[in-house]
């Protein structure tokens, strides 16, 4: 597995890391197998978050059995204030069953005002800097879906890493990644498959790791097959052929700009609609010529797009500012 230096942290990380969102869907036994297989395949970077439900707990149990010292461990929190961050850090340490965390990140910073508060006297950065002085965390990072916010963040000099979506559909952060590399700041890529919207994961990952400004990409994995195939990208290091690049970008262009990355931040819906799944079924129906299958799956759901009452709560949570209500109406138009 190819390894790269994670900016000024000087941590040596596998170019393919383990994204911790999907692991919450598996049981304890499978979680251990996934982390063990990742280790065997040369993956040594794990990224999770307080907000990923049982992810930290499952990973913590797995690390206790596979070996904490075999991984560079990163997690993150949505807390912006001093006291709240201290509480979150304490929970992370307990759930991850460790006495230190290699990288603790501010999760999904969505505005410059949020960034300013984090940096303020009563902000959460103060809590993490104190924890770093005690050796409880080694480095501090920040994640956002906005290149503009990350650009401002790296100018402060307070963050050793940044994390942002990047894939053949979403390339808006390329200049920020270049700037970060020049400033010796580590670059972590989330949403490398555009939240599952890109079906050819291998080609997308090969496109991403070919960018020398990127330290590590973190596809989410919940099967041993995914671990094996994703890890292979970091092992064989083949560049895309012209034909493969054409195939990849044809699919990327077909997605347009307004598509669901299935991050789940829009949930829970007051009407109990699984919003990302609505768009997933619409994608199968529209783009992948699986009309009958998608329609039958959609019709079998108890709560569907048609049950949306347009309250708009989902749109306020969406990090991509998608017009979810309008998009759900489009699902109804196509699937009924």
pLDDT digits (tens, 9 = 90+) for 205-223: 999 999 999 999 999 999 9
- Are residues 208 and 189 in contact, defined by beta-carbon separation less than 8 angstroms? yes
Supply the mean pLDDT for the chain: 93
Residue 68: CB atoms within 10 Å: 16
Distance CA 175, CA 181 (A): 10
Rg (CA), the chain: 20
* Residues contacting 306, CB < 8 A, separation 6+: 332, 336
Of 225, 229, 190, nearest to 30 by C-alpha is 225
Name the nearest CA neighbour of 221 among 233, 209, 237: 233
User: The pTM is what?
Assistant: 0.84
For 95-100, what is the mean pLDDT?
Answer: 97
Q: Who contacts 241 (Cβ-Cβ below 8 Å, separation ≥6)? A: none
pLDDT at residue 294, as a whole number: 84
Q: List, for residues 51-96, the tens digit of each pLDDT value.
A: 888 999 999 999 999 999 999 999 999 999 999 999 999 999 999 9
State residue 287's pLDDT score. Answer: 67
**Domains of the chain, residue spans:** 3-248, 275-335
Backbone CA torsion sign across 312, 317, 320, 321? positive
Spatial neighbors of 166 by CB under 8 A, at least 6 apart, are 173, 174, 177, 189, 190, 191, 192, 208, 211, 214, 217
**% of the chain at pLDDT higher than 70:** 99
> 3.30.450.20, 3.20.20.100, 3.40.50.620, 3.30.428.10: which CATH number matches 3-248?
3.20.20.100
Measure Cα distances from 68 to 39, 64, 89 in Å.
11, 6, 17
């Amino acid at each position: 597995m190819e390894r790269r230096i994670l900016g000024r942290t000087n941590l040596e990380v596998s170019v393919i890391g383990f994204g911790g969102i999907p692991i919450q869907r598996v049981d304890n036994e499978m979680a251990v197998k996934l982390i063990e297989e990742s280790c065997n395949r040369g993956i040594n970077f794990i990224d999770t978050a307080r907000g990923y439900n049982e992810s930290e707990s499952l990973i913590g149990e797995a690390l206790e059995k596979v070996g904490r010292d075999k991984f560079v461990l990163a997690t993150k929190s949505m807390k912006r204030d001093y006291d709240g961050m201290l509480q979150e850090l304490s929970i992370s340490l307990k759930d991850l069953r460790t006495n230190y965390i290699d990288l603790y990140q501010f999760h999904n910073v969505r505005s410059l005002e949020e960034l300013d508060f984090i940096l303020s006297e009563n902000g959460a950065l103060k809590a993490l800097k104190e924890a770093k002085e005690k050796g409880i965390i080694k480095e501090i990072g920040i994640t956002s879906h906005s290149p503009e916010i990350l650009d401002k963040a790296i100018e402060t000099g307070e963050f050793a890493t940044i994390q942002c979506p990047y894939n053949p559909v979403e390339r808006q952060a390329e200049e920020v990644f270049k700037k970060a590399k020049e400033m010796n700041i580590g670059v972590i890529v989330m949403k490398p498959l555009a939240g599952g919207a890109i079906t050819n994961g291998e080609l997308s990952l090969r496109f991403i790791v070919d960018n020398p400004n990127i330290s590590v990409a973190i596809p989410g994995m919940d099967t041993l097959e995914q671990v094996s195939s994703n890890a292979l990208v970091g092992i064989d290091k083949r560049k895309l052929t012209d034909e493969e690049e054409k195939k990849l970008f044809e699919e990327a262009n077909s997605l347009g700009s307004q598509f669901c990355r299935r991050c789940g931040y829009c949930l829970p819906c007051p009407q109990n609609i699984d919003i990302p799944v609505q768009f997933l079924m619409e994608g199968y129906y529209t783009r992948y010529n699986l009309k009958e299958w998608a329609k039958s799956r959609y019709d079998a759901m108890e709560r569907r797009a048609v049950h949306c009452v347009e309250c708009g709560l989902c749109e306020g949570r969406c990090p991509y500012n998608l017009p979810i209500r309008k998009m759900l109406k489009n699902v109804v138009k196509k699937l009924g």
